[in-house]
Structure 1
Amino acid sequence: MRYVRIHYRLFVVAALALAGCRSVPLPDVAVEPPRDPVVPVVSAQILRWRDGSRAAASLTFDDSTLDHYLLAAPELDRRGLHGTFFVITGVMQHGVWDDFGTRRLQFSWNQARRLAARGHEIGSHSHTHPDVSALPFARAELQLLKSLQRLQREIPRQHGITFAWPYWRSTETTRALASRYYIASRAGQATTPRYRAVGPVGARPEDMQRVNALGTRPVETLDVWQEALHEILDDGGWAVLSLHGIDDGVIPREAIGWQPLSLETYRDLLDVLVSQDFWVAPFGEVVKYLERRDTTHLHVYADDDQRVIIDVHSPLDPQIYNVPLSVRLTLPPTWHDVEISADGQPLAWHATSAAVVIELPAEASKLSVIPSATPGASIAAHSR
C-alpha cells in the first residue's frame, strides 16, 4: 500500500508539470510502521505445598499391628485421607509379633495390599524390628535390604519406598546405608516438648534419612499437640506424626499396638488436621513432592502472541518421583479463559484470584497455554 501511494503521488506531480500546470502540494500521507505482536506476559510458580496449602502433614503408623487395619485406616478413609503404615516385613506372615514378651497381632499381606489399593502407603519398619543403630554393618544392611525386597515382592506397584527407624534410632552409618535403598527415613521424638526442642520439620528437612516426627502418646493431651501443629502451620512446615496403637475398648488387647491412643482422641486429632489448612498426605508422597519442588525448573517464553510455552526440566526419575506438582500460572488480564496442555494432552485447572493452578504431571516436559476461543467471564470469576 505504501508503494502504491508514493508512486501514485510522483505520477500526479509529473503529469501536472508536463501539462504546464502549477503544482499543488499534496497532503502528506501517514505511513504507519508495522505493529509488533503483543507478547503475553505469563509467570509460573511452583507452590510450596500441594494446591497452595499452608503446610503439610503426614500420619504414620508403626509395627503393622492389627488395630491399624481395623481402626486407624477406616477413620482415614472416612475423611478422604491417606496415611503411611510402616510394617515389620519378617513377622507379618506369622500373624503375631513378640514385642519383648507382649504378643501383638499383625495384619496380613493381603490386608496390606488392600490398604495400598485404597491409596495408603506401605513402608518398611525393618525386617524383624531390631535397634538397627546398634547392629554391625552387615546385619544392619540385611535388615534394610531384606525388608525392601519383601515389600517390592508383595506390593510391586509401589515406587520409591520409605523407611521408619525402629525405636527412632539411627547413626550416620545406618542413615548412609538407608539412602542406598530408600528415598527417605522417618525418625521421631517421644514427647512434644522434645520434638519442639529438636525442631519440627520445616519446608525442607535437613536430612532426608532422619525426618523428625512427633510421637503421639496417651500421656499427652490434644491441646499440647495442637499447639505444635499451629506452630508448623504458621511456619509453612511439615507435621509428621508417629502413631502406634489405637484402642476402641472393643478389639482384643493383643490386636492393639504400643502406647495406644483412645479411638476418640485419634478421631479428634484427625478432625483438627482436616479443619486446618494442611495438605494431609502419606510420608512418601510429601517426600516426593518436596524433592520435585526443589529440583524442577520452569522456563517460560512466548511462542507467539497467542501461545505461551513452559519447558519443564527435572533431574528426577518420574517413575519414582511420580507425584504431580501444583503450579500457579499468572495470566494476562485480557485472557478470559484458557486451554492448557501437557505434551499435547489437555490439562485441567482451577482458578484462584487472577491466576490458575494446575497439577503438573511428573512425566511432563512441555506445557502449552493459549487463550480459549470460547468467550466467557474473566478467570478471576472462576476462582474458588
Structure 2
Amino acid sequence: MKKTLAICAALAMAALGALGCSEAEDEAPGKITWPDGRKAAIALTYDDALDTHLDVALPALDARALKGTFFVTVGSYPFTARFEEWRALTGAGHELANHTLFHPCTGGPGRDWVMADRDLATYTAGRFVDELALTNRILEALDGESVRTYAYTCGDTEAGGESIIEALAPYAIAARTVRQETPVDGNGLPDTYLIGTYAEGDPTGAQLIAYAERILAEGTVGTYLFHDIEGEHLSVTAQAHGELLDWLVDHEDEIWVTTFREIMEHVRAHEAAE
C-alpha cells in the first residue's frame, strides 16, 4: 500500500511539474511575479531636469501613453524656470524623483568640471542628507507625494568618503545607479538601492531595444538613463528614443513599463512577502 501511495505521489508531482506549476517552481527564490502576467518591468528615466525632457521626451511619452520618471535637480535653472510645467507632468502620471538639490559629484582627475562647493568629496554625509531631505520637501510641495526614489549623481555613492547608500533609506525607497548590472541578494532579488540602468552614449534604436530584449529574457527589472533628447548633454536622438518607445508599446503585454517608483514599490512588496 505504501509503495502504491509513493508511486501515485511521484506521478502527481511529475504531472504538476510538466504543467509548470510545481511547488518548487512557484516558490523559486528571486522570481518576481509582475502585474497582469507580464514577464519583466522597465522604467524610462530622465536625469537632471533638462529642457529637452519637457520639449521632446514628455510629448513622445504622452503620445504613446507611457509613463516616465524624471530625476530632477531642483536647484537647476531648467527646473526653477519651468516650475509649473514640471508640476503639470505629475498630473499625467509621470514621476518626479530626487536627483539632489545642486547635483554634487565627486571631483578629481578627469572631473575638472566639478565645482569646489559641489564636490561630494568635501561634503559630509550629514550635509548630503540635509540637501536630500530638502529636495524631497520641495518635490512633495509640487506633487503631494511622500514616497520618493533617488538616482546617484554621476553614479557616486559616497559623501566625504562615507557611503550614502544606507543613509538613503528614510528618504528614498530605491535608487538607480549608472552601471548596467544590478546586484542581487541571497534570494536572487534585485538590490533596490543599486538598480542598474542602460546609460550608453549616443545609442541607436537597435541598441536600446537589445537591452530591453535582455531584460525580458531574464524576467527582471531594467531601467534606461536618458539625458538630453536631441540636445547637447550626453544626447540620444529623438529617432532612437522613439524606436525604443514604439518597441515597448508593441510588447506591452510582456513588459510592464511604468514609473521607477511603482516598479520599486512592487519589488519591495515582493521582498516583504519572502
TM-score where L is the length of structure 1: 0.54
Of 171, 177, 198, the residue aligned with 1:214 is 198
Cα shift at 1:113: 1.4
Residues 64 and 107 in structure 1, CA contact (< 8 A), matched pair in contact too: no
Give the 3 Å change call, closer, same or farther, for CA 70–83 of structure 1 in structure 2. Answer: same
1:142-166 deviations in whole A, cap 9, x for unaligned? Answer: 221121121122222x131111111
1:149 corresponds in structure 2 to 137
* 1-structure distance, mates of 2:41, 2:61: 16
More strand per residue: 1
Equivalent position amino acid for 1:222 in 2: G
| Identity %, equivalent residues | 26
Q: Which consecutive segments of 4 or more residues in structure 1 shift more than 6 A? A: 44-47, 200-203
**Alignment partner of 1:288 is 2:255:** no
* 2-structure distance, mates of 1:232, 1:47: 13
**Alignment partner of 1:139 is 2:127:** yes
More helix per residue: 2
Cα shift at 1:222: 2.7
1:242 corresponds in structure 2 to 225
Cα shift at 1:226: 2.6
* 2-structure distance, mates of 1:200, 1:231: 16
Q: Which has the higher contact order (CA 8 A, sep 6+)?
A: 2
Map 1:72-111; keep pairs closer than 5 Å: 72-91=57-76, 95-96=77-78, 108-111=82-85
* 2-structure distance, mates of 1:257, 1:153: 30
Consecutive unaligned residues of structure 2, counting only runs of 5 or more, are: 1-25, 107-119
Q: How many residues align?
A: 225
1:342-373 deviations in whole A, cap 9, x for unaligned? Answer: xxxxxxxxxxxxxxxxxxxxxxxxxxxxxxxx
* 2-structure distance, mates of 1:211, 1:183: 12
* 2-structure distance, mates of 1:70, 1:272: 21
Map 1:245-284; keep pairs closer than 5 Å: 245-247=228-230, 256=231, 258-276=233-251, 277-284=254-261
Cα shift at 1:188: 1.3
* 1-structure distance, mates of 2:80, 2:238: 19
**Alignment partner of 1:232 is 2:177:** no
Cα shift at 1:107: 5.8
* 2-structure distance, mates of 1:69, 1:126: 19
Residues 63 and 257 in structure 1, CA contact (< 8 A), matched pair in contact too: no
Residues 205 and 239 in structure 2, CA contact (< 8 A), matched pair in contact too: no
2:45 corresponds in structure 1 to 60
* 2-structure distance, mates of 1:283, 1:113: 18
TM-score where L is the length of structure 2: 0.74
Residues 32 and 220 in structure 2, CA contact (< 8 A), matched pair in contact too: no
* 2-structure distance, mates of 1:200, 1:209: 9
* 2-structure distance, mates of 1:111, 1:86: 15
Cα shift at 1:128: 0.4
* 2-structure distance, mates of 1:224, 1:161: 30
Q: CA RMSD in A?
A: 2.6
Cα shift at 1:47: 6.8
Equivalent position amino acid for 1:180 in 2: P
1:187 corresponds in structure 2 to 177
Residues 186 and 212 in structure 1, CA contact (< 8 A), matched pair in contact too: yes
Of 154, 157, 176, the residue aligned with 1:170 is 157
